[in-house]
Amino acid sequence: MVELVEYIAKNLVENPQKVEITSVKEKDELRITLRVEQNDMGKVIGKQGKIAKAIRSILKAVSLKENIKVNLEIEEIK
């Protein structure tokens, strides 16, 4: 699932080399943190959060198949 988030994010942003993704798995939950530059935040989140919601929907569909809960956090690189 991390590879899926990475693929989607890198195709949305202007600076794909600056995309950072970390993941932590705890019991039946996978927490994925996506970090992008400030000027790319809007591209990943989208108008009214539609792109972020779409990414989370895709992750939810995949997670149901794998029987794991996925939490996606989007942060700005500092």
Of all residues in the chain, what percent carry a pLDDT higher than 70? 100
> Do 51 and 44 contact (CB within 8 A), yes or no?
yes
pTM of the model: 0.90
Q: Is the pLDDT of residue 78 over 90?
A: no
d(CA 18, CA 10): 9
Q: What pLDDT does 74 receive?
A: 97
As assigned by CATH, the class of the 2-76 domain is alpha beta
* Predicted local distance difference test score (pLDDT) of residue 20: 96
Neighbours of 8 (CB within 10 A): 18
Q: From CA 45, how far away is CA 19, in angstroms rounded?
A: 14
Confidence of residue 39 (pLDDT cuts 50, 70, 90): very high
Domain ranges of the chain: 2-76
pLDDT mean across residues, the chain: 95
Contact status, residue 34 vs residue 21, Cβ threshold 8 Å: yes
